[in-house]
Amino acid sequence: MLSLHVVLAQRDPATVSGLVNNLRGQCRAVTITKKEEVRSEILRSRANVAVLDLELFSLPEVRQLCDEFKGVSVVCTHRLADEELWTDAMNAGASDCCLPNDVNGILFAVRRYAAQARSAAA
């Protein structure tokens, strides 16, 4: 199990359910939050990863969160994610941009962050 705390802010309840079911077995903790509570939840829980729905958050908001929380990996999701949106999300500071039902892609991004954090600590 990864010693990560993941904060989820997603629009679709089915996406939330699928992500929670898959992430809970992989991470120390998973917290579901509303858009307006993301900042306070990241601080409260000392989250390492935030999985944000780009249908709730604009790219400037993603950039602001990435700038504000340098140690937090932001993984974006969008139901119409394509190369252009992926590039825009990466330019905003996100670690990855996946389709919301791409649980394996999201887990890969979370694991990649954990591996980078371990390497930096060594």
pLDDT (tens digit per residue) in 57-104: 999 999 999 999 998 999 999 988 789 999 999 999 999 999 988 888
> Hey, what are 119's tokens?
């390497």
**Alpha carbon distance 27, 92 (integer Å):** 25
| Contact (Cβ atoms closer than 8 angstroms) between residue 52 and residue 95 | no
Which is more confidently placed, 73 or 3? 73
For residue 102, is it left (φ>0), alpha (ψ between -120 and 50) or beta? beta
Enclosing domain of residue 58: 2-121
**What global pTM score does this model have?**
0.91
Residue 65 sits in a domain of what CATH number? 3.40.50.2300
Instruction: Over range 11-28, report the average pLDDT.
Output: 88
Count of the separate structural domains present in the chain? 1
